[in-house]
Amino acid sequence: MPKLYLIYKSFILSGLALILLSSCGPSYPKETLVNDIEQIVKKESGCDARVSFIKDTVYLDMPMNTIVSSENEVFSEAITALQNGVFAVTRIALSSDADIKIIVITAFDPEYTVSLRMIQNIEDVKSYFYQRISKSDYEQRQLIEIEGPDTARQSILDRHYVGQEEFVGRLIVSQLNMLGRTNPFLATVINSLNLKYGSIYNDSIIITAKGTYSLVSDTLIRKLITEELNKNIKKYKLFSIKYVRILSKEGTVVMEVPAVLN
């Protein structure tokens, strides 16, 4: 679904100024925040969204009748609903006394055959608006996850605190998978791996290759992971992360990529 990333970048960037300017208005108290978000999302997108908080992570689940067409293209209604959800929650988060750091917004169909998730780091939004980071840098911080029928339901039900380390780990996987969707030269290699974020273990980001791992592509994958790992460790100052470890679907380590911070 290469069009999804381009559409997402377009609407998220065009709406940031409006979001942050409107954040100067009345505050949304944390005591009523769940109800406030659900009401505003209902008004602006027509979705009966469900909101939950885990520490400073807010989850917004948006059930929709249809997400993708038979041609595997994202319906405009789904994009619009996600757009409104992102804008609403970000706007509220920036004008609330609640401590919100990560926003996880997911659209999914009733049968859980597909889910589209966008994860937003509030500090990235602020940094872009106040010109501490460039437009291109902000675009590289966009995190999109797509789940199919085997994993959609489980991923939606898995609500937990998302720390900075996990955000960066999922961002690295998202960026690698997006390369597979938008770069025809890398598509075969990356898509065949079917990379999924696993966990943070000690000083390592654990990623699982659900697909097929080939020694032929080892050098290329290592190079891509090294670039994303080094770049994001520096951006988010996560110097406690030392490695990315790729596990096979059987759970064995097939690749270990160290951070190289020169």
Q: Name every residue whose Cβ is closer than 8 Å to that of residue 29 and which is 6 or more positions away in sequence.
A: 96, 97, 98
Asked whether residue 176 falls in the same domain as residue 148, the answer is: no
Which SS3 state, helix, strand or coil, does residue 258 take? Answer: strand
Q: What is the span of the domain harbouring residue 220?
A: 166-258
Asked whether residue 107 falls in the same domain as residue 206, the answer is: no
Asked whether residue 28 falls in the same domain as residue 150, the answer is: yes
Asked whether residue 182 falls in the same domain as residue 144, the answer is: no
Q: What is the pTM of this model?
A: 0.86
Asked whether residue 75 falls in the same domain as residue 32, the answer is: yes
Asked whether residue 66 falls in the same domain as residue 155, the answer is: yes
**Model pLDDT, residue 55:** 94
Question: What are the counts of helices (DSSP H) followed by strands (DSSP E) for the chain?
Answer: 9, 9
Asked whether residue 11 falls in the same domain as residue 106, the answer is: yes
Q: What is the DSSP letter of 87?
A: H
**Model pLDDT, residue 9:** 55
**Model pLDDT, residue 73:** 61
Give per-10-residue mean pLDDT for the chain (262 aa): 52 54 64 91 85 94 77 66 78 85 91 89 85 88 89 93 97 93 85 92 94 80 94 95 94 93 75
What values do phi and psi take at 157, rounded to 5? -75, -20
Asked whether residue 54 falls in the same domain as residue 107, the answer is: yes
**Model pLDDT, residue 53:** 94
Asked whether residue 127 falls in the same domain as residue 202, the answer is: no
How buried is 157 (Cβ within 10 angstroms: 0-12 exposed, 13-18 middle, 19+ buried)?
exposed
Kind and range of the H or E run holding 174: helix 164-182
Asked whether residue 156 falls in the same domain as residue 183, the answer is: no
Asked whether residue 20 falls in the same domain as residue 104, the answer is: yes
Number of domains in the chain: 2
